[in-house]
């Protein structure tokens, strides 16, 4: 179904359409926003493990106070 989707000619056509829609001035801004979103997503995936560890330590401290 998607076997020819990522051929170089198709990717060039997609890039051309994006250039027409957004213009060359907006592309660096779009790229930066996309990069920030990906970094935030990766950070969000890694943080829940850290948060659960921190919550466990906080609960231990609360238990000691009681």
Domain count within the chain: 1
Q: Output the pLDDT for position 62.
A: 62
In a domain, 29, yes or no: yes
In a domain, 2, yes or no: no
Q: Output the pLDDT for position 63.
A: 61
The DSSP line for 23-61 is: -TTTHHHHHHHHHHHHHHHHHHHHHHHHHHHHHHHHHHH
Q: What does residue 24 show for φ and ψ, rounded to 5 degrees?
A: -70, -20
Q: Output the pLDDT for position 65.
A: 55
pLDDT tens per residue across all 66 residues of the chain = 567 777 888 888 988 998 898 888 888 898 899 899 999 999 888 876 655 555 556 666 566 655
- Is the pTM higher than 0.85? The answer reads no
Q: Supply the range of the domain harboring residue 15.
A: 8-65
In a domain, 49, yes or no: yes
């Amino acid at each position: 179904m998607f076997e020819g989707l990522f051929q170089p000619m198709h990717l060039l056509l997609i890039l051309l359409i994006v250039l027409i829609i957004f213009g060359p001035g907006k592309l660096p801004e779009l790229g930066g926003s996309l990069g920030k979103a990906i970094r935030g997503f990766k950070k969000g995936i890694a943080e829940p493990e850290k948060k659960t560890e921190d919550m466990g330590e906080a609960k231990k401290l609360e238990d000691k106070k009681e």
